[in-house]
Structure 1
Amino acid sequence: MKKFLSWIEAKLMPPMVKLSQNRYLVSIRDGIIATMPLVMLGSFFVLFAQFPIPAYQKLVAPYVATIMLPYRITVGLMAVYAAFGIGYQLAKRYKLDALSSGLISMGAFLMTTTPVLANDATDAKTSLGMVLPMSYLGGAGMFTAIIVAIIAVEIIRFCSTHNIEIKLPDSVPASVSRSFAAIVPSAMVIILVWVVCGVLKFNVNEALMQLFKPIVDVGMNSYFGLVIPPLLITVLWATGIHGDSIIGNLVRPFWLILWQQNADAVAAGHAAQNIATEGFYTFVWIGGSGGTLALCVIAMFFAKSAYLKEIGKLSVVPGIFNINEPIIFGAPVVLNPLLAIPFIVGPFITSTLTYFAMSMDLVNKTSMLAPFTVPFPIMGYMITQADVRAILLMLINFAIYLAIYYPFVMMYDKQLLAKENEEAHHEADTVTA
């Protein structure tokens, strides 16, 4: 294990660190994360509309459309907000006007959806005028939002670099100057999207969904698609690389698409069907990446070395809220062959168990999002439409982590205790001398 970690540190770590700092990946991450407060809030309205108690559902049935309005405007427009956020973040990294870049990106993304003439569903004779279909404005349009935002900002950057913009005298207020400077790149971006989507009638959203469909439906939503990400994340963490910032950024758009399909199904009164959502890992990351809450508990209650016991005490409270940097870098887990083994193996076992539990409908699949700091097993109960069985599954997974971590923590504790005793004897001999 030590040789394996050394090989990863020497060969894999440099390109992974470089990848984690890639401007596009970082901008996509920050842009999508910026939408999470709205998306999380909106997802709770699915629970309000479809709480799994027949009497309650019957009571609110006449008001479901009204209750679901916040969901439609938050989750249903998730890709719109992401397009703005990604454009904004990427422009900041290029030191461009972030606000106008975000707005241009969002406008360009909206142009990929063609407005249609619609009638009122309750009165066929009443025209609603031109409306924008929402099919690709949520999770299904996430790939388009990412690509369009990046292209838009690159065009803006090209114009700025080559001075292809309207420049006003220095006496003009900066806000006005920036607005005029954005006119030429805005025109280039909008005309490009108009030609592709309006003139050529090319459906970018549908093309990208068809392109990624095998990855989304088969690659991600399968057993291997679910166990490989935590395996890669923990291996990278064990070498000191923030695994989720690399692997999570790559797969999060896929998770969001599958999650929104689940949320839409539940909102319509059906059962969620997709397993591969980010909520799945709520059952795997108990205490954070690697399931380290068990490590904190064992260290606090069973360690005999002063150092490990103290680290356990300091890390257990953050661990309850799924913040595990204190234990990962404090124990440490990083570049520690003894603790790296359960850190990598544990999530593989719990993700396998969770996958089969959900695929066999022993536990509801996740259809809500919640802040990552919600403690277990409350979070599992929340995101599975108040499924009590989710609590049991999380407790089982936690017990598995305790069993896997215990022998390795005890071996590591023995090493630390021996070192502490040796240092104590050395200090005693020094004082005596």
Structure 2
Amino acid sequence: MKIDVIGFADVLSRIPMLNALQRGLALTLPLIMVGALALLFQHPPFPELKPFFAILFGPQFDTVLSILVSSTFGIAALLAMCGYAYVYSNLRNTRESTPIASPVLVVMVTVTCFFVLVAPTEQATLQAAISLSFGLPVALLVAIGSTEVFLRLARMQVLRIKSKSIGQEGMIGDVFTIMPAAGLTIILFAILKAVLLSLGSTDVVADLNGTLAKTLTSGADTLGFGLTYIIVSQVFWLFGIHGPNVLQAVQDLQMAPASIANNIAVIDGKPPEFIFTSQFFDLLHMGGSGATLGLIIAMLLVSRSPSTRNFALLAALPALCNVNEPLLYGLPIVLNPIFALPFLLVPVVNTIVMYLAMSTDFMPLTGHQVAWTTPAIINGYAVTGSVNGALVQALCLLISVVVYAPFVRLSERVAALKGQAALQSLLVITEQGDNRSAGKRLLSRTGDLGRLALSLAGDLEIAVKRRGHLFLEYQPQICLRSGRAFGAEALLRWDHPVHGRIPPPVIIQLAEDLGIMPELGDFVLDLACAQRKDWQGSVPDDFMIAVNVAPAQILSGTLDQRVFARLDAHFLPTHVLMLEITESTMLIPDDAALASLERMREHGVRIALDDFGMGHTSLRYLRALPLDEVKIDRSLTQSDQGEVSGHIISSILDLSRSLDFSTVVEGVESEDQLARLQRLGCTRFQGYFFSRPQAPDQCLAFIRSLAEKAERAA
């Protein structure tokens, strides 16, 4: 089942329209958060707080809250529509060989089509049409329809003005190119408006909402009515549409009168009559539609992701007062197939539980009016006037947590799989050496890869500053003549709290994109020197720690000062440090960088050329750099390379002897491979056949075990 859900989620994530809907709604999250907080202050769960707020913040506080709600929730449908049009046109443009139309122009056409369709109308109706509560269905339908029509028309060559020489500004030419398609799209929506007017529809938003709601208003206080209402309402929410507000007519025609009748009955000392009242569904929506307070608790209890738990805490405050738009759009639940089933199932199960509790007289019917923002459990007691009401609501909350919990874990599994795939794509980009945007290979990316790279970059900056989650592992280097380890390469690792181990090439590329490679290099040098100091006395005095240095560190011209400072800080002699320069960087340092390398070598620091092959770049490095060692690239050590690689390795060994360089062969993974390399004359090795990169203590134990074997053999 899980595999099918994961596959289905992956398929849906590749559909541009659904992708754009989800992202367009998510773009409204900042104003939704502000609006939610304003709404809580405007409608506090305890009415006594309102006078207190007025005293504390002044008499204009309520007016300011109303402005905030109107400026956030009140225009959210319009902004969600704009977000959809922008994201969708961007996605479509990236799939074409040449962009179809500017996303900004698509947004303008979409907004125009929307107002053509909802106007003329009264001011109050117009405000409802652009609000999140009432206008979102029409806004999203217009956004989907207008963007699709416009982009299809814009692709038609017959509707494109060929000349782009109009005006002095290039953008003007782009606008004129697709002006016929834009104009025709708006005209088509004007024709649709005329058709609706001829049919008697003067208010599209109200007519659509009213038609949907009236079909559900039966007047029957039955379980069938309650389940139908809650299912339809939840389905709307799955598309980001405020279900209860769209179905306002059901509230006005059936549930509100039932609530009033129950309240009057309690005042008159009579038993309430109706089960399905406005207060019943307020009891049901613990944390907001879908009983998402249970989801938040499940996230806090079972999530392994710190970011998920942090978001749950952020969404908890408004959810305690039954405002869950931040969770719906931010997690998101909207258009998320993983959470669709529990989001529908939890309210259905809780409706049945509460209905049975009331129909069997275990739980009193609702008969007291309280604010809809009253927190769960308190609400259960206050609305029913009974402890049993609170107990049943607590049971429903527990059911919600139990149902949501496995889907939280499933969601994290899907996110982890997508994250690993994106991470692998970043690794491929890094290793391919695509020098885009002045060397910013990863941070210049767009889409999911760009967002992941940006997120990782921010986390890396924090990790370097705080020295958290970054550490070194060590891979021993072996001399078969002596049978001992003569050194160990320090290898950077990043154990990300969400994405796990980040590939080292991605770490380095992100650091270079951010311009923090010198700081990261200092951090690695410091850790390696500290570890070599800790091993003092446990390894031979000439045992070397090899540290990779990046081009940015070399080109700084001050690498020698940084290196000497780290060695002095740990009271280490210079001869125990080997700096490895990567051949694949295709970089010949400038004079200042060369002078820095020369100064280090003169003072005893050894310099190695990593990933050495036999290309022109390798040979240029041999002439340009002050070197002590070359490390033969693993691509030459593979047994399937045949005799050619053997001849190349023999040539490198001859060349190294003539230039007085030592050699180390990297990537040795099998006994056959080792035997072949030994026959070629290789004696110093590094690779998985001997040892994988290990934690410092494990590496030291391995080094000691080799020394003990060598002593016994002697």
Task: Specify the alignment match of 1:166 in structure 2.
Answer: 161
Deviations for 1:252-305, whole angstroms, at most 9, x for unmatched residues?
A: 2144845999xxxxxxxx9976658782335454347xx3544x3xxxxxxxxx
Task: Specify the alignment match of 2:129 in structure 1.
Answer: 136
Task: Answer whether contact 1:292 1:343 (CA < 8 A) is retained.
Answer: no
Task: Answer whether contact 1:28 1:86 (CA < 8 A) is retained.
Answer: yes
Task: Specify the alignment match of 1:146 in structure 2.
Answer: 140
- Alignment counterpart, residue 177 of structure 2, candidates 174, 181, 186: 181
Task: Answer whether contact 2:210 2:247 (CA < 8 A) is retained.
Answer: no
1:395–1:29 Cα change, 3 Å? same
Task: Answer whether contact 2:237 2:243 (CA < 8 A) is retained.
Answer: no
Rounded to whole Å, the distance in 1 between the matches of 2:208 and 2:190 is 17
Deviations for 1:69-91, whole angstroms, at most 9, x for unmatched residues?
A: 12112211222112211111221
Rounded to whole Å, the distance in 2 between the matches of 1:162 and 1:147 is 23
Task: Specify the alignment match of 1:101 in structure 2.
Answer: 106
Task: Specify the alignment match of 1:252 in structure 2.
Answer: 240
Which runs of structure 2 are paired with 1:177-326 in the superposition (5 Å)? 177-197=173-193, 201=197, 202-203=201-202, 204-213=204-213, 222-223=226-227, 226=230, 250-255=238-243, 257=245, 275=282, 279-281=288-290, 283-287=292-296, 291=298, 293-294=300-301, 296=302, 314=304, 318-319=308-309, 321-322=311-312
Where 1:197 maps in the other structure, the secondary structure is helix
Where 2:134 maps in the other structure, the secondary structure is helix
1:405–1:284 Cα change, 3 Å? closer
- Alignment counterpart, residue 112 of structure 1, candidates 110, 117, 120: 117
Task: Specify the alignment match of 1:77 in structure 2.
Answer: 75
TM-score of the superposition, structure 1-length normalised?
0.54
Where 1:281 maps in the other structure, the secondary structure is coil
1:222–1:180 Cα change, 3 Å? farther
Deviations for 1:297-345, whole angstroms, at most 9, x for unmatched residues?
A: xxxxxxxxxxxxxxx8x5588446439xxxxxxxxxxxxxxxxxx9999
Rounded to whole Å, the distance in 2 between the matches of 1:134 and 1:187 is 26
- Alignment counterpart, residue 40 of structure 1, candidates 33, 37, 54: 33
Which region of structure 1 is more displaced relative to structure 2, 314-323 or 204-213? 314-323
**Letter of the aligned partner of 2:205 in structure 1?**
N
Determine which structure has more spread, i.e. the larger CA radius of gyration.
2
1:26–1:190 Cα change, 3 Å? same
Task: Specify the alignment match of 1:327 in structure 2.
Answer: none
- Count of aligned pairs: 315
Deviations for 1:163-221, whole angstroms, at most 9, x for unmatched residues?
A: 21334437964433333234222211222222332586244323422343258879999
**Letter of the aligned partner of 2:312 in structure 1?**
N
TM-score of the superposition, structure 2-length normalised?
0.35
Query: What's the C-alpha RMSD, in Å, of the aligned pairs?
Result: 5.4
Which of structures 1 and 2 has the larger relative contact order (alpha carbons within 8 angstroms, sep 6+)?
Answer: 1
1:403–1:176 Cα change, 3 Å? closer
Q: Name whichever structure is richer in helix by fraction.
A: 1
Task: Answer whether contact 1:286 1:398 (CA < 8 A) is retained.
Answer: no
1:392–1:286 Cα change, 3 Å? farther
Task: Answer whether contact 2:23 2:83 (CA < 8 A) is retained.
Answer: yes
1:37–1:50 Cα change, 3 Å? same
Task: Answer whether contact 1:31 1:89 (CA < 8 A) is retained.
Answer: yes
Where 1:279 maps in the other structure, the secondary structure is coil
Where 1:94 maps in the other structure, the secondary structure is helix
The percentage of counterpart residues that share the same residue type is 16
Rounded to whole Å, the distance in 2 between the matches of 1:176 and 1:358 is 68
Q: Name whichever structure is richer in strand by fraction.
A: 2
Q: Gaps (5+ residues) in structure 2?
A: 94-100, 250-259, 261-276, 314-341, 406-714
